[in-house]
Amino acid sequence: MKTRPVHILVSKESGARSRDDIVCHRSAAELPPRSLIYVNRDVLVTSPALTFLHLATVDLHKKRQRTVEELALIGLELCGTYLLDDSWDGLTNTAKPLTSVEQIARVLDAMPGAPGIVRAREALELVSDGSNSPMESVLCALLTWPRRLGGYALGPVSLNHRVSTADGDRYVDVAFPGHKVGLEYKGRKFHAIEQAGRDDRRQNKLVGSGWTILNVWYEDIVEEHLYNQLVADVARAMGIRLRIRSGGFDARRNVLRMQLIPAFKQYAAALAR
């Protein structure tokens, strides 16, 4: 517990009352199976899937309702293999995801009248399983989220997609399997020679299996003209002609990038230290 007040979930019939250091949230609905996790005999916490639904109601720190985009980014983290934290590089990678799109969907289906359910369902439609870093989540959002939100609606997408090669399985950061096009996030422009060599040899195996692999650098996302070129290159590799009638799309696209890039810059700055 890092912050106060502590927020706890109680039954509708509970006599518990909020106080300065504890806020009680009453649940009128019956909770689905396995939606609570035992920490010890006396303490339970909500499962990641149920937590996703609860986060759709209010941002407890900013005292406002989260946007669908903010909630979807949380979903990408919960369904991925990284957790944002206070460590030196801003995240911890995990052996497996905390939950999945399917598990969250089951909880939402079991609680159709719960507060925040509409917003949670809308956000879950934007979530994909398997992201291994905030960078991959950002790329997924920018390229695949619907145009009404400022994305390019390119998809379907598969994150950390497994590809069989002659030398075994390889994984593509952001893949469009139907077109055999993949994006590999490289970070900033300067990689160690050894790392660059490993990346290039890994990419050669994928190309030899019939895939088109595009390298993406940090600058390709944060610099406007490079970002435009990246989107054009991805569409060209997929054989797609982008037909976008403005209709406010440019404004929506810029808003989405402004929502995503601040956290992106913060993470990149931590890596550069």
Instruction: Check residue 61 and give its pLDDT.
Output: 60
Place of tokens 């209010």: 58
Dump the DSSP string for 159-200: EEEEEEETTEEEEEEEEETTTTEEEEEEESS---HHHHHHHH
Q: What is the per-residue pLDDT across 159-195, written as a single tens digit (0 to 9) for each? A: 999 987 777 788 899 999 999 999 999 865 444 444 4
pLDDT of residue 264: 55
Residue 74 amino acid letter: I
Contact 57, 116 (CB under 8 A): yes
Low-confidence ranges of the chain (pLDDT < 50): 189-197, 201
Q: Model confidence over 92-120: pLDDT tens digits? A: 899 999 999 999 999 999 999 888 999 99
Per residue in 113-134, pLDDT (tens digit) is: 888 999 999 999 999 999 999 9
The pLDDT value given to residue 143: 96
